[in-house]
């Protein structure tokens, strides 16, 4: 419970409101219907980044909105479009535990499958341990399935499985939610075999990276099928996910993508639409494969910062219905919107918000939480604002990051809005003529001038007014996140030292130095929203 509550608190504190024309927060008393659309709305992939643990009860964005909306607000859902449109693009869903059944050690029927874990690749001998896995969504990376069990004292180090050269057998039953033809199988790294009612339907007993191995299966809805999954790990990364997709629901691109008429009709009928898009950790991460030849991506890197075209197209079609569209953006990096930011009434940057991400997003949308997250990166208008993808020179072209970028950012480093307003005043600096090792104090008064309680992130930047060498535009040197009730004011204090806070690295001398002269002390709500400025001089 404590971990779950901490996950919610972390997710709430990271929610970053990029734009709001007053549409947010949503008024539950006035709204009767919401259309939720988007590839990241109903998947746990949108909750977690490139490295993750398995949450016990993850809350998707759709689930969070449905729970917060309650029974009086109708919530419709449509995936809308894939994250990225490419030849043969499709997505399989994880098989949820409610569709799996097995018998536990006490002889009771429970959701999930019984897993038997063996040394070696051939599932031979007695299992090292047996446990029920509610869902087959395992990713151990270069680790071992028993690492946590050793840490908890359930197994001794001598009983543990090695990081490589192990195998697992899962058994139980599977029940399809409806009749039809499904693509059914597994994503695995390495080998995997699947038996359905004793028949081998997937046979991929080879060493390979995480790839899908599926078969077409005609399921009868509600019928129990005996299921056996066999898996082995040779070396390197390890993982296996049990997946399926009803064929007529599969997103498969055979030509230019067009948003469905049914989805747009639901959007048009709704009082407000929420599009949940962006990226997920299948599209941005470390040392990823299978993205070759796809525009905008190379491995786990992004060669373009624009939102994928298929999502832009879907968003514009939704906008054309006349229903206000709120964009909940899921990603771990800067995204640009091809000018769509001028049309959308509100944009919430939710990052990869973790297991309680759906609840956190919903609390922000409905005003139960006043967002105060801030951008730790600069958002640019387009890829054209940046130098070549492989150029790591921070000052090349228009420059990278708020420290060297000379253009106009889409959303500046440190940007983030609130449902209330704040006023800065009464800046005071106790010492304005300094030696390089003098400590000095900066005070500023901040007042919540709005009608809601909220938090302001007061940011302090230092700028060398007239540098003799190429220097950063400004540098963040301190910040304070302060909670203020409506009408409340507080004086914030920052302590600075030129030797630490005004220094730059002299590459010729190979040392940090402080250049004498005038410096600005800038305080504001972002790197480009400076509210009040003071000056000091270093002798």
Tell me what pLDDT residue 90 has.
53
CA–CA gap between residue 23 and residue 412 (Å, rounded) = 22
Going by pLDDT thresholds of 50, 70 and 90, the confidence category of residue 521 is very high
From residue 258, alpha-carbon distances to 268, 296, 310, 321 in Å are 16, 20, 9, 15
Give the E-state strand segments of 66-191 in sequence order. 74-78, 93-94, 100-103, 109-111, 113-119, 129-133, 137-141, 166-175, 180-189
pLDDT of amino acid 414: 98
Q: Is the pLDDT of residue 454 over 70?
A: yes
Q: What is the residue-averaged pLDDT of the chain?
A: 92
Contacts of 357 (CB under 8 A, 6+ apart): 11, 46, 47, 58, 59, 60, 61, 64, 350
Nearest CA among 247, 226, 106, 231 for reference residue 175: 226
Q: Predicted confidence band at 52 (pLDDT cuts at 50, 70, 90)?
A: confident
Over the stretch 68-114, which tens digit does the pLDDT of each residue have? 999 999 999 998 998 888 654 456 778 988 899 998 888 888 999 99
> What does the pLDDT look like over 154-178, one tens digit per residue?
788 888 898 899 999 999 999 999 9
Q: What is the pLDDT of residue 234?
A: 92
Give the percent of the chain with pLDDT over 70.
Answer: 96
pLDDT tens per residue across span 215-273: 999 999 999 999 999 999 998 888 898 999 888 654 444 457 889 999 999 999 999 99
pLDDT top residue among 44 and 341: 341
Per-residue DSSP letters for 185-204? EEEEES-EEEEETTEEEEEE
Percent of the chain with pLDDT over 90: 72
Range 200-208 average pLDDT: 94
Q: Which pLDDT tens digit goes with each residue over 376-400?
A: 999 999 999 998 878 888 888 889 9
Report the pLDDT averaged over residues 323-337: 97
The answer to whether residue 523 scores a pLDDT higher than 70 is yes
How large is the average pLDDT for residues 355-362? 97
Long-range contacts of 260-264 (CB under 8 A, 24+ apart): 260/78, 260/80, 262/78, 263/35, 263/37, 263/78, 263/80, 264/317, 264/318, 264/321
Mean pLDDT of 35-58: 87
């Amino acid at each position: 419970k404590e971990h779950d509550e901490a996950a919610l608190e972390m997710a709430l504190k990271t929610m970053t409101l990029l734009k709001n024309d007053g549409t947010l927060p949503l008024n539950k008393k006035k709204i009767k219907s919401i259309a939720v659309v988007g590839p990241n709305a109903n998947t746990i992939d949108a909750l977690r980044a490139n490295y993750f643990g398995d949450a016990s009860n993850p809350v998707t964005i759709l689930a969070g909105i449905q729970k917060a909306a309650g029974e009086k607000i109708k919530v419709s859902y449509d995936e809308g479009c894939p994250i990225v449109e490419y030849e043969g693009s499709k997505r399989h869903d994880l098989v949820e535990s409610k569709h799996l059944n097995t018998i536990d050690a006490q002889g009771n029927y429970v959701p999930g499958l019984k897993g038997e874990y063996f040394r070696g690749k051939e599932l031979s001998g007695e299992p090292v341990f047996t446990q029920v896995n509610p869902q087959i969504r395992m990713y151990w990376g270069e680790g071992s399935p028993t690492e946590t069990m050793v840490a908890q004292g359930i197994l001794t180090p001598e009983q543990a499985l090695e990081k490589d050269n192990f195998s697992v057998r899962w058994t139980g039953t599977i029940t399809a939610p409806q009749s039809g033809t499904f693509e059914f199988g597994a994503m695995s790294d390495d080998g995997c075999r699947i038996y359905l009612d004793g028949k081998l339907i997937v046979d991929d007993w080879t060493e390979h990276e995480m790839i899908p191995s599926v078969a077409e299966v005609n399921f009868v809805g509600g019928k129990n099928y005996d299921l056996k999954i066999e898996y082995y790990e040779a070396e390197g990364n390890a993982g296996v996910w049990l997946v399926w997709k009803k064929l007529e629901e599969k997103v498969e691109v055979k030509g230019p993508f067009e948003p469905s008429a049914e989805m747009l009709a639901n959007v048009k009928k709704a009082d407000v639409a929420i599009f949940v898009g962006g990226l997920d950790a299948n599209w941005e991460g470390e040392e990823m494969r299978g993205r070759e030849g796809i525009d905008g991506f190379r491995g786990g890197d992004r060669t373009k910062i624009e939102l994928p075209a298929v999502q832009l197209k879907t968003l514009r079609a939704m906008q054309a219905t006349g229903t206000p569209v709120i964009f909940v953006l899921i990603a771990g990096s800067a995204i640009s919107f091809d000018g769509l930011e001028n049309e959308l009434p509100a944009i919430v940057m939710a990052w990869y918000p973790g297991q309680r991400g759906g609840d956190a997003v919903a609390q922000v949308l409905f005003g139960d939480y006043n967002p105060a997250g801030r951008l730790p990166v600069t958002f640019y208008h387009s890829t054209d604002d940046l130098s070549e993808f492989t150029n790591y020179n921070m000052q090349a072209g228009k420059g990278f990051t708020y420290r060297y970028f000379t253009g106009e950012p889409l959303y500046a480093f440190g940007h983030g809005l609130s449902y209330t307003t704040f006023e800065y005043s009464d800046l005071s600096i106790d010492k304005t003529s300094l030696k390089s090792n003098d400590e000095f104090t900066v005070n500023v008064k901040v007042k919540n001038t709005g009608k809601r309680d909220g938090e302001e992130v007061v940011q302090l930047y230092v700028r060398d007014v007239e540098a003799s060498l190429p220097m950063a535009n400004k540098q963040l040197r301190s910040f304070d996140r302060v909670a203020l009730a409506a009408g409340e004011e507080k004086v914030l204090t920052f302590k600075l030292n030129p030797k630490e806070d005004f220094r730059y690295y002299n590459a010729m001398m190979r040392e940090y130095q402080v250049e004498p002269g005038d410096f600005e002390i800038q305080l504001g709500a972002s790197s480009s929203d400076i509210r009040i400025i003071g000056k000091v001089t270093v002798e």
